[in-house]
Amino acid sequence: MNNTLHAVIMAGGRGARFWPRSREKMPKHLLDIISEETILRETLNRISPIISPDNVLIVTGLNHAEEVRKQAPEIPPENIIIEPMGKNTAPCIGLAALHIKKKSADGLMMVLPADHFIADEKEFRRILAIAGEAARRDEYIITVGIKPTWPATGYGYLELGEKEFTIKNEDVHHVLSVREKPGATEAENLLRHGGFFWNSGIFVGKVSTFLKAIARWLPDLYSALASAEAALRTKREGAALKRVYASVTPVSFDYGVLEKAGNILLVKGDFGWSDVGSWDALWDILPKDEMGNAVAGDSIFLGRDARNCLIHSPRKLVALAGVKDLIVVDTKDALLICKRGASEEVRHIVDLLEEKKFKDYL
């Protein structure tokens, strides 16, 4: 394992599209939706062959810190970074970079979401190694692009530019442009055009490169985070971050840096990737029966002429007859039924619950 290589696992967010299973106190990445392991645990297991636990940082929120510590006992307590409030991915990445700078100013950091599905973990690690080698060559931030298979509107798109170099038979290209979550018509046009890849949300670069990029493109954010740098990894960190985050404007790394910077490179990833961002995405990756039905978790399902449905009901039997393309999710206090293909709308149900102040269901 390389002592200069660090992983930053972004374990924030609420997973609203996975309601009613995902809740504020126990969001998607802390649940065992895909397998017997939680999604966070699977993420940690996936990188354990290449990165020491001492060099893994998990950025999470105050409400989830205790559960993260429970699920990741091998990670040093000081490497569980607690944001006082969620302000999107740019503050998260900048804060983690400052933490690593204190340990290894010349280190390399790999930024990984906590809630992704990877089918071929060996190939995933191979692509990460190539991205790491590319990042060490110069002041580059490397992203992993996924070849799109349908005109998704929930992903960002990266336009492939000229090849910069080849590493171990993998071409590494410049990113010409970033199209953040296009509408349906634009997504269809991008797919038809070719040369566009889904943005996986995986970033690799030197710690110094990340910090320089944030300082240039998000100077107010950099100044705010830098004002707390002396307190990091001390008893004063919590209070310092609470003060800083109160003034920080929420911004994603994609919008704040990726869309503007000219030093973004892309390596293609073909390892069975999904961001598992919705119940529809879960249906895509789960095994199906002869009628196209998928069962998530420890659920019991009986079907009579039921086709292409997703069922998640660990507490009671679900029986479906004469229906197709449904998503059925049952929990102890809520039941979701929606048409498959419409699960992106679940987040609006969460918005409605907030509006009506149904806090017990959030």
The answer to whether residues 213 and 198 belong to one domain is yes
Task: Classify burial at 42, counting beta carbons within 10 Å of its beta carbon; exposed 0-12, middle 13-18, buried 19 or more.
Answer: buried
Domain count for the chain, please give it.
Answer: 2
3-state secondary structure 222-288: HHHHHCCHHHCCCCCHHHHHHHHHCCCCCCCHHHHHHCCCCCEEEEEECCCEECCCCHHHHHHHCCC
Q: Which residue has the tokens 């670069």?
A: 205
Cβ neighbours of residue 307 under 8 Å, at least 6 residues apart?
291, 292, 293, 323, 324, 325
Residues 152 and 233 in one domain: yes
Q: What is the mean pLDDT of the chain?
A: 93
Confidence of residue 11 (pLDDT cuts 50, 70, 90): very high
Residue 344 pLDDT: 83
Q: Angle 219-226/207-217 helices, nearest 10 degrees?
A: 120
Based on the domain organization, do 245 and 341 belong to the same domain?
Answer: no
Among 244, 259, 274, the domain boundary falls at 274
Tell me which of 238, 256, 274 is where a domain ends.
274
pLDDT at 315: 84
State yes or no: pLDDT of 293 exceeds 80.
yes
Same domain, 170 and 308: no
C-alpha–C-alpha distance, residues 186 and 183, integer Å: 5
Binned at pLDDT 50, 70 and 90, residue 25 comes out as: confident
Question: Would the pLDDT of 182 be above 90?
Answer: no
Please tell me the number of Cα atoms within 13 Å of 14 on its side-chain side.
16
276 has a pLDDT exceeding 90: no
Query: Which residue type occupies 221?
Result: L
Mark whether 14 and 162 lie in a shared domain.
Answer: yes
Query: Residue 289: what residue type?
Result: D
Residue with tokens 């039905």: 293
pLDDT at 153: 83
| pLDDT exceeds cutoff 90 at 335 | yes
Domain limits for position 195: 5-274
User: 23 and 130 share a domain?
Assistant: yes
What is the token pair recorded at 85?
């409030």
Which residues are 335's β-sheet partners? 330
Q: Are residues 220 and 288 both part of a single domain? A: no
Residue 162 has a pLDDT of 95
| Single residue among 227, 246, 274 that ends a domain in this structure | 274
Residue 360 burial (CB count, 10 A): 9
Q: In terms of domains, do 235 and 95 share one?
A: yes
- pLDDT tens digits, one per residue of 298-313: 788 999 999 999 999 9
Cis amide prior to 20 (ω within 30 degrees): yes
pLDDT confidence of 2, banded at 50, 70, 90?
A: low
Which sign, positive or negative, has the C-alpha torsion 142, 143, 146, 148?
negative
SS3 328: strand
113 and 258 in a single domain? The answer is: yes
Which helix (H) or strand (E) segment is 47 a member of?
Answer: helix 39-47
Q: How far apart are CA 145 and CA 96, in angstroms?
A: 23
Within this chain, do residues 263 and 283 fall inside the same structural domain, yes or no? Answer: no
Mean pLDDT of the region 143-171: 93
Is the same domain home to 100 and 120? yes
Q: In the prediction, which pLDDT does 72 show? A: 97
* pLDDT tens-place string over residues 121-145: 999 999 999 999 999 999 999 999 9
Q: CATH code at 261? A: 3.90.550.10
* % of the chain residues with pLDDT over 70: 99
Strand partners, 118: 273
Say if strands 80-83 and 141-146 run parallel, antiparallel, or are unpaired.
unpaired
Nearest to 104 by CA among 26, 177, 8: 8
Task: Report d(CA 91, CA 83) in Å as an integer.
Answer: 9
- Examine the domain organization and report whether 157 and 217 are in the same domain: yes
